[in-house]
Every structure is written in structure tokens, then in C-alpha cells.
């Protein structure tokens, strides 16, 4: 029997606002427990929420980018359930009238483009965090995260496999970071998703029973969790059994999904319109302002990089595809004019290093200013490209500036013709046999002489000067 997988993703994007959705407490990550918490966040009796419009502007920017309909009148609802890290006993969310309706995202799979439609995206507040393993016999609550604004983006069930799901999440990551809607930091939970997975017989119109895998927070886990779940469900169906509709959790240490406690889905959330908040109305002027200040997206950057800086289509595409890389490039080129060399380095040496370390450029010790300085030193022939690479290695480990490294290690290139000539003459004098062979027509030996010069200068001789003077002396 041939099976078909149907996947829909609910993506939770933590919006990068300075303060929370309904209070003016900070959203900064990593603060000591319960320090980014005010009266509203801990749900004291008598407190009331008030809306942070910045979160709306970010949600609207996302909506515009995916070509969605924007609801300029937004209504909040209460989702009622009890949990220790949910201070009010309800979450303020949007049920009937989400801020964003429709739209789509394009993903590329094996060079083919596929469009995934978006059902809706709504604003809601995050809950706090329960900590069960830190205090013997007690659970602890950290409310720092409580009230942080989330945009929940619901896709249509149009994703066919784990690979597409990963591509969708990568596209989502690229979009929200370029839009400056979120920092997209998956390890800190700024971007995570729930995957609804179901299996049906190929050709069937009706959807199979779905399970929901909760809170997956890395591209790798999305792929593994979905693939596990697909296999699990197919096995059940092939045994002639039925898939149980349930919420499941992906355990990365065992690479498996397993059911969450059953009372989770027995909840009746008793949604009703939040009476503490009036409908939020976004004016036409506000919409226009968001449109006017719309950030540049990867495709636009790609074209501009080619036109303004003469990058190749390939280089432009690679640099423009990551927000942190594009930002780095744009900052660096304020300080250097050799755009081609800069892009070569970004795509070559720098990317190789980042891939090896599995980090983004903004997580590394590299600064755009210092990389620009390195490019300039190569460009003005203070150092050779080869020396540049060794300086780069040092920059990566301790973040020091290229000029400092050059100075402290005496790496400055020897470009003085007289000095080079002297060294060349020494090499010629010391290697009479090779000179004879070269002059007899063994052209390949030219490299040998260059190598000898570099050896004597510890690689610091200007290669161009070495070439031309050598040629002259070996006539």
C-alpha cells in the first residue's frame, strides 16, 4: 500500500519587542528568575492589561510580507486553563478575529518552488516557565517569559514531508529575521513549532487522524520528529489499527515521539472575548507607516548587491539569504571599497569557519569593522592573502584586530623592490642547478623559486613583486 503524509505547522514566533504584550516589563532573555515581572505579569488582583502596539506593527509587517489580509480591528479572547506558570488562569490570545488572515510562503525543494498557504496568524501572550528539577520536593515558577508577545502562524495542511517542513521553517526563519519581527533564536525558543501530522492512503480525499507534536525548536528535530511520527503512524495503519488523535512530545535523546499526559487534550478552554481590552484599531496612517518603513527582503538585497557592488549572482544570493550575513556585509562595506574581496572572504573563509563551528556570524567573535580592516590590508598589499588567512584564524579565536596582529607579529608584507631583489639574488645564487634547468626551458621551476623566496621571507614577500622581479632576473 502506498501512503501519503499531510503536515500542517503551527509556528510560534517570539516577537522582538522591548516590552511585553500587555505590560511594560522587559522581554530581555536570560535575566535572573522573576526579575522581568511586574504587577500585571504576575496576575495580581485588580491589575489590567494594556496593549503594546509595537507587537501589532511587527505582526502586520509579517502579514504584509506574506501577502495576507490585515485585520485593522483586532479583538482579544481569553483561553482559560489552570497551570502554575499561567498567572491569571487564562491566556490572552486571538480566537475569532486574528490580526493576519491568509497569505503564503514559498519554499524551494530540489530547485522546485512550492507555495505553502497560511491560514492565519494571531497575537498571544506566552506563559511563564515551570522548573521541576532545581528544588528538592518543590516546583518553582519563573514568570520572566509570562506575557512575552508571540505570533502564532498556522499553515494550511499542505506540507508533504519532513524535508518540506524544514524548508518551510527555514523560510519562516529567514522571513521573520529579515523583517526584524523576531531574533529567530531557536535555541532560546524565539522560533518553535507544533507539527500536525497525519497519514492517508494515496489518492484519498479525506484527511487521516492527526497527532500534534508539540514545541519542536530546531530544524534537525523537526525533521527527525516528523520522520519518526510518519513511520509510527504508517506502522499502525499497516497493522490495521487506528491512529489516536493526541498531543505528543518529541524526545531528542531517544529520537522518538510519545504521548503527553491525556488531560492535556481533555481541556475545554472556554474562550470568550477579553472584557478588559477594547478592540485594538490600527489606523490607515499606521498601516501606511509600516509600509513606508518596510525592510528590504532577501530577493531585493540580492539584486541590489549585484547592481551596486558588482557581486556575482551566486555570491549575492548566498550573502542575502541570511539576515546576520547580510547585516555583516552591509556594515563591513562602510569600511572597505573592495566589495569583491569582501564577498569572496564572506563566502569562502568566513562561511567555512561558521559552518565548522555551527554558528551564525553574529554569534562569532568577528566584527564587521575588523573584517573590513583585514580586507583593506590585503587590498593595500600590507599583507598577502595567505598571511590574511592566518590573521583571520587569530581573529576568530580572540577577536583581536588585524592591525594589532600584523604589528605584534611583524607580518607586514615586504613590498620594497630592493629588499625583494636582494632575497631573489640569494635564492638564485644558492640554487645554480635549478637556474640552469629553468633557463634550459623547464618553466615549471618558476614556482620553486617563488617558494624559496617565500620561505626566506616567512611568506611576507609581496607575491606580485616577487613574480615580476624573478622573471626579470631569470632572463
Partner 1 sequence: MSIQFKSIADLREMLDDKSISASELIQESLELAKKYKELNCFVTMNEEFSVKKANAIDVNKKTSSRLSGIPLAQKDLFCTEGLRTTCSSKILSNFIPPYTATAVKKLEDAGSITIGKTNMDEFAMGSSNETSFFGNVHNPWKKGYVPGGSSGGSAAAVAAGIVPAATGTDTGGSIRQPAAHCGITGLKPTYGRISRWGMIAFASSLDQAGPLARTAEDCAILLNTMSGHDAKDTTSLNSNVPDFLENINQPIDGLKIGLIKEFNLSDLDSQVQARFEESKKAYEKLGAQFIEVSLPNISASVPTYYSIAPAECSSNLSRFDGVRFGHRAESTDDLNDLYIKSRSEGFGDEVKRRILIGTYALSAGYYDAYYKKAQQVRRLIKNDFDNAFQSVDALMTPTSPNTAFKFGSKGTQNPVELYLEDLFTISSNLAGLPAISIPHGQVNSLPVGLQLIGNFLREDQLLNAAHIFQKNSDYHLAKPNLGDF
Nearer to partner 1, 77 or 315 (CB): 77
CA 123, CA 290: separation in Å to the nearest integer?
Answer: 17
Does the footprint of partner 1 cover residue 56 (CB under 8 A)? no
CA 179, CA 115: separation in Å to the nearest integer?
Answer: 20
Give the bridge partners for 151, in sequence order: 13, 123
Nearer to partner 1, 46 or 432 (CB): 46
- Alpha-carbon separation of residue 197 from 2, 121, 201, 214, 255 (angstroms): 17, 20, 14, 11, 17
Q: Is the Cβ–Cβ distance between 77 and 95 less than 8 Å?
A: yes
Nearer to partner 1, 44 or 352 (CB): 44
User: Can you point out the beta strands (E) in 110-220?
Assistant: 112-125, 129-135, 138-142, 149-155, 191-201, 211-216
Element (H, E) at 67: none
Does the footprint of partner 1 cover residue 78 (CB under 8 A)? yes
- The set of cell numbers assigned to 441 is 626551458
CA 32, CA 142: separation in Å to the nearest integer?
Answer: 9
Smallest separation (angstroms) from partner 1 to the CB of 141: 7
CA 291, CA 284: separation in Å to the nearest integer?
Answer: 10
Stretch that binds partner 1, among 77-85, 149-157, 247-255, 456-464 (CB under 8 A): 77-85
Binds partner 1 by CB under 8 A, chosen from 63, 87, 98, 157: 87
Each residue 266-285 as x (binds partner 1 by CB under 8 A) or -, in order, gives --x-xxx--xxxx-------
Does the footprint of partner 1 cover residue 88 (CB under 8 A)? yes
Give the bridge partners for 74, in sequence order: 280
Does the footprint of partner 1 cover residue 137 (CB under 8 A)? no
Does the footprint of partner 1 cover residue 43 (CB under 8 A)? yes
Does the footprint of partner 1 cover residue 3 (CB under 8 A)? no
Nearer to partner 1, 43 or 102 (CB): 43
Binds partner 1 by CB under 8 A, chosen from 15, 42, 166, 346: 42
Does the footprint of partner 1 cover residue 265 (CB under 8 A)? no
Q: Is the Cβ–Cβ distance between 208 and 236 less than 8 Å?
A: no
Q: How many residues bind partner 1 (CB under 8 A)?
A: 30
Binds partner 1 by CB under 8 A, chosen from 4, 10, 51, 102: 51
Does the footprint of partner 1 cover residue 39 (CB under 8 A)? yes
Does the footprint of partner 1 cover residue 474 (CB under 8 A)? no
Residue 371: HSE in the Cβ half-sphere, 13 Å Cα cutoff: 28
Which residues contribute to the site for partner 1 (CB under 8 A)? 39, 42-51, 78, 80, 82-84, 87-90, 139, 141, 268, 270-272, 275-278
Amino acid at each position: 500500500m502506498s501512503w501519503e503524509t499531510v503536515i500542517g505547522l503551527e509556528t510560534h514566533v517570539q516577537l522582538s519587542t522591548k516590552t511585553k504584550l500587555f505590560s511594560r516589563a522587559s522581554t530581555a532573555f536570560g535575566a535572573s528568575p522573576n526579575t522581568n515581572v511586574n504587577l500585571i505579569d504576575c496576575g495580581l488582583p485588580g491589575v489590567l492589561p494594556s496593549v503594546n502596539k509595537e507587537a501589532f506593527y511587527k505582526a502586520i509587517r509579517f502579514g504584509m510580507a506574506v501577502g495576507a489580509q490585515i485585520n485593522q480591528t483586532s479583538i482579544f479572547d481569553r483561553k482559560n486553563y489552570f497551570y502554575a506558570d499561567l498567572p491569571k488562569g487564562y491566556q490572552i490570545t486571538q480566537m475569532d478575529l486574528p490580526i493576519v488572515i491568509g497569505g503564503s510562503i514559498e519554499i524551494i525543494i530540489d530547485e522546485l518552488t512550492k507555495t505553502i498557504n497560511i491560514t492565519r496568524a494571531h497575537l498571544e501572550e506566552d506563559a511563564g516557565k515551570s522548573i521541576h528539577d532545581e528544588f528538592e520536593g518543590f516546583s518553582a515558577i519563573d514568570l520572566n517569559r509570562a506575557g512575552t508577545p508571540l505570533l502564532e502562524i498556522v499553515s494550511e495542511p499542505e506540507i508533504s514531508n519532513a524535508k518540506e517542513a524544514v524548508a518551510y521553517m527555514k523560510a519562516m526563519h529567514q522571513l521573520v529575521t529579515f523583517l526584524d519581527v523576531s531574533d529567530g533564536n531557536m535555541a532560546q525558543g524565539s522560533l518553535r513549532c507544533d507539527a500536525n501530522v497525519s497519514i492517508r492512503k494515496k489518492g484519498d480525499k479525506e484527511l487521516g487522524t492527526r497527532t500534534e507534536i508539540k514545541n519542536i525548536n530546531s530544524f534537525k528535530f523537526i525533521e527527525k520528529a516528523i520522520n519518526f511520527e510518519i513511520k509510527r503512524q504508517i506502522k499502525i495503519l499497516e497493522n490495521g489499527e487506528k491512529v489516536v488523535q493526541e498531543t505528543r512530545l518529541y524526545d531528542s535523546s531517544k529520537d522518538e515521539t510519545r504521548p503527553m499526559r491525556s488531560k492535556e487534550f481533555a481541556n475545554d478552554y472556554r474562550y470568550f472575548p477579553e472584557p478588559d481590552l477594547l478592540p485594538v484599531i490600527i489606523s490607515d496612517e499606521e498601516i501606511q507607516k509600516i509600509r513606508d518603513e518596510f525592510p528590504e527582503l532577501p530577493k531585493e538585497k540580492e539584486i541590489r548587491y549585484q547592481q551596486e557592488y558588482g557581486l556575482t549572482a551566486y555570491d549575492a544570493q548566498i550573502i542575502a539569504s541570511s539576515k546576520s550575513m547580510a547585516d555583516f556585509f552591509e556594515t563591513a562595506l562602510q569600511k572597505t571599497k573592495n566589495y569583491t574581496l569582501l564577498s569572496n572572504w564572506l563566502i569562502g573563509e568566513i562561511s567555512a569557519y561558521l559552518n565548522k563551528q555551527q554558528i551564525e556570524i553574529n554569534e562569532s567573535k568577528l566584527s564587521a569593522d575588523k573584517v573590513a580592516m583585514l580586507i583593506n590590508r590585503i587590498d593595500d598589499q600590507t599583507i598577502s592573502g595567505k598571511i590574511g588567512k592566518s590573521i583571520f584564524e587569530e581573529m576568530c579565536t580572540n577577536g583581536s584586530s588585524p592591525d594589532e596582529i600584523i604589528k605584534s607579529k611583524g607580518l607586514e608584507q615586504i613590498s620594497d623592490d630592493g629588499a625583494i631583489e636582494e632575497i631573489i639574488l640569494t635564492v638564485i645564487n644558492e640554487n645554480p642547478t635549478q637556474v640552469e634547468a629553468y633557463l634550459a626551458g623547464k618553466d615549471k621551476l618558476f614556482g620553486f623559486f617563488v617558494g624559496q623566496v617565500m620561505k626566506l621571507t616567512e611568506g611576507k614577500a609581496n607575491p606580485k613583486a616577487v613574480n615580476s622581479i624573478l622573471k626579470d632576473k631569470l632572463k
